[in-house]
Amino acid sequence: MAKKTFLLLLFFRITFVFACDLSGHFDFAVSNDEEILYSGCYDAVNRGPHIIQYFLTKERAESMGVRRPSATFTQNRDGGVLRNLLSENGYSLPRHTDYRNSGYDRGHMAPNADFNDTYRNALLTFFIANIWPQLPEINRVEWLNTENETRKLAVEYLIVKVVIIVDEFSDNEINDIRVPLVFKRRVYDAYSDELIYEIDVYQ
């Protein structure tokens, strides 16, 4: 089983990209030296990730974890690739300080707890293109519950594909960042591609 999981992950590392063909939307990926940790489609109009996608293994889900990074959300966790691409097309990324005193948390879409097998991997989730404004009670309770359920499924199924979708918005904005109305989580068995968990969290 371990060999099968290794070969599947090797395949994912070679093929794991997400096509993003909407106007004002741009592909991006965040990698360590060995693998793509997560990738997505950045919505430059509303200024956050339209889709985040990654694979979560049983080993990562069961990792004892490292200390949560005390870090700011930077524009260059991907080496500055997305920032440069947006600049070439007349867009820009938000800054960590844009959320200050807004009443909203900086809500991870790909959570650091899914990548805390190493400190560096956890740190790479602190990317400004990986967050949306989330009310504290959503980020720290309801959305956290969906993350915990996803980790349980990764343990059960050995490896799962996680897809986060944000495509509905309220009328509220903070520093030109639209506030999402709903966060959609879809989890698939990576071997069969069967949908095994689906939830929409409204704020």
171 contacts: CB under 8 Å, gap ≥ 6: none
Q: What is the pLDDT of residue 10?
A: 46
Could you tell me the pTM of the whole model?
0.91
pLDDT one-digit tens code per residue, 109-155 = 999 999 999 999 999 999 999 999 999 999 999 999 999 999 999 99
- CA gyration radius, the chain: 16
Helix, strand and coil in the chain, % to nearest 5: 30, 35, 35
Supply angle C-alpha 103, 105, 108, rounded to 5. Answer: 160
Any idea where the domains of the chain sit in the sequence?
2-202
Backbone phi and psi for residue 115, each to the nearest 5 degrees, phi listed first: -130, 25
pLDDT at 13 over 80: no
Superfamily of domain 2-202: Extracellular Endonuclease, subunit A (3.40.570.10)
Name the band, by pLDDT with cuts 50, 70 and 90, for residue 15. very low
- Tokens read off for 93: 């990324």
